[in-house]
Amino acid sequence: MKNYFSSSTLGAQLFLIISLLGSILGVYIYGLSTTELLLVLLGYFVYGCLGIVITYHRQLTHNSYKTYPWLTKILSVVGCFAGTGSPLAWVAIHINHHLKSDKPEDPHSPLHKGVKIFTLDYVNEVSADTKWRMRDLVTDKFQQFLHRYYFVILIAYSGTLFIIGGFWLMIFAHWLPAVITGLMSNIVNYVGHMPNWYGGYRTYNLTDQSSNNWLWAIPSWGEAWHNNHHRFPKNAYFGTKWWEVDISGLIIKLIRK
């Protein structure tokens, strides 16, 4: 029997589209004062930086650092609130990206897939190599739970915010930050493989087209140091030059053990 609550491509895209439309309506109704902007920035930091970048990407995908198990669980749940899929689904996509970087099988290479908005490209058939790299994650009961009941968790969180602060809180503390997180993920996937894009450059001559981009480095919490990352995927800190500041890498230094 199909589980309609589990993490899926269609469900995640539908949530982000609804969030985008709801956010436009929310901004029209309430405007964007300093309070709303700070709330959105806080949400984007919590979901995008702590949840997706620091936990989904650098810890669960690349095992670039170790931290406390209880903190990993909390931040895995926080990453779910971003609306871009469960940790299991997200990690499978990203491992596939590194294995097939800028090849036709790459799930989000701009060379073969073009510009994408809210297109997550879940891996339908997980290769043996990907399964091996995810072996600890796929057997983790907590991660299995997050994947199986992903949309229950997502809807419950939005509903709780609505009960506490109405449509206003749900939009500015959840939906709009989730939209920004989803958009930034797609921006990094695009400019991170377009060396000639404004702000782009390559420090390492790799077989793919991965590139750094100084313009998007701060807004993406350090993810836009993409060429560095493809050269050293196990590094928790993406900057390799003194001026390549990596906000996520600095936070990891505080929480790693």
All structural domains of the chain with their residue ranges? 9-186
Q: Is 246 within 8 Å of 232 (Cβ atoms)? A: no
Rounded Cα gap, residues 209 and 189, in angstroms = 11
Per the prediction, the chain carries an average pLDDT of 92
Residue pair 80/149 in contact by the 8 Å Cβ criterion: no
Give the pTM.
Answer: 0.94
Beta bridge partners of 250: none
CB atoms within 10 A of CB 140: 18
Question: Tens digits of per-residue pLDDT, 67-93?
Answer: 999 999 999 999 999 999 999 999 998
Encode the chain (257 residues) as per-residue pLDDT tens digits.
456 678 888 888 899 999 999 999 999 999 999 999 999 999 999 999 999 999 999 999 999 999 999 999 999 999 999 999 999 999 998 998 899 899 988 888 788 766 655 455 554 555 666 777 888 898 999 999 999 999 999 999 999 999 999 999 999 999 999 999 999 999 999 999 999 999 999 999 999 999 999 999 999 999 999 999 999 999 999 999 999 999 999 999 999 98
Cβ atoms within 10 Å of 145's Cβ, excluding its own: 13
